[in-house]
Amino acid sequence: MTTACTQKPEGDLPEHGGESNPEDKEGSESDTLYEPKVVAENLEAPWEIAIQNDIIYMSERGGTIVAIDGKDKQRKKVKLAADLSDQAEAGLLGIAFPEDFSKTNTAFAYYSYHEGDHYYQRVVTIKETDEDWEETSVILDQIPGGEFHQGGRIKIGPDNKLYVTTGDATNPGDSQDLDSLAGKILRLNLDGSVPDDNPFEDSYVYSYGHRNAQGLAWDDKDQLYATEHGDNAHDEINRIEAGKNYGWPNIEGDETADDMESPIIQSGEDTWAPSGMTFLRGQFFFASLKGEGLRRFDPKNEKVDLIISDVGRVRDAHATEDGIYIITNNTDGRGNPTDADDRLIFIPHPKNKLF
């Protein structure tokens, strides 16, 4: 049982510019199976990839969205109603696109802001114009923010509900408080109302006891999985069930407690610092910050492999039928950027091999 917790950022600060575990690099398949191709360069601390109508959109923490349409790259400012927070791990984070985007030009975004000395996150709608994006409405507000652990992944699920990960905002006890929005996975109707079938009455809370979940993906049976940053290692992949308690700060890693869920797999004393996750052909792929690469999780044998390395920190992964897009995250102050960073990289489906 964990009785004391030292709050640390994603994977600990010193590691973010460091080398991956040598054993991971020896086990990488990238030299033989995978041929990464750079699609775009000079991104500015990108956070999420979304693809809509064959256009690749990427949020950048400084308050911009980059669109890649073929060979054309365009960056637009997002006009927000509140001032972006400059706290660690904060900024313009998740973006998600509803099915009617081509008609409305309206998407969803999650961003961190401050009011005086108080820090929060909110979920909003943003509308694209010829010149920029503009916040048009607030869907959910005053999600707690803190020194670290802002959460920030948003996804529209197969049930057409909006799922939102929030961090514990460096107040671990809030993860166990069902009256707090911190340390949770939230589930909303697209209009911002509470779904009637949420597990707790009149509550956005879908699952709780999370430290800082940053990856969401569904398998081919619509089962939700999430990645989560552990406290100094013990990073997790969890199978998410409505109303369940995932233990933080009472348990982590392989620890157990009554009425609390243990992860399917965890990193032990190593650190993945996992972020965005995607699903393709029966397997999950997740971005790895400290581990500096793309990792594959096979839910059948509950095994994790490093398949792409030597690109630096990776923040998000997005699958298509042809392969997987990833974004590096070396310009956020914690990596060692090259002149071309950050980059959007495409990993095509390897010939005669399944991912």
Segment 124-144, tens digit of pLDDT:
999 999 999 999 999 999 999
Confidence label for 221 from pLDDT (cuts 50, 70 and 90): very high
DSSP for residue 45: S
Q: Which residues pair with 143 in a beta bridge?
A: 121
Residue 122 has pLDDT above 70, yes or no: yes
Structure tokens at 2: 């964990």
What per-residue confidence (pLDDT) applies to 12? 44
The tokens 């994603």 sit on which residue? 10
CA distance 125 to 298: 35
User: Out of 8-17, 97-106, 211-220, which region has the weakest mean confidence (pLDDT)?
Assistant: 8-17
Average pLDDT (184-195) is 98
CA 207 to centroid of chain Cα atoms: 16
What per-residue confidence (pLDDT) applies to 353? 62
Cα separations in angstroms, 56 against 199, 224, 278? 34, 24, 15
pTM for the predicted model, two decimal places: 0.91
CB 347 within 8 A of CB 326: yes
Average pLDDT (117-123) is 95
Confidence label for 28 from pLDDT (cuts 50, 70 and 90): very low
What single-letter amino acid sits at 110? Y
DSSP for residue 87: S
Counting Cβ atoms within 10 Å, is residue 185 exposed (0-12), middle (13-18) or buried (19+)? Answer: buried
Give ∠ CA 9-164-285 in degrees, rounded to 5.
70
What per-residue confidence (pLDDT) applies to 349? 79
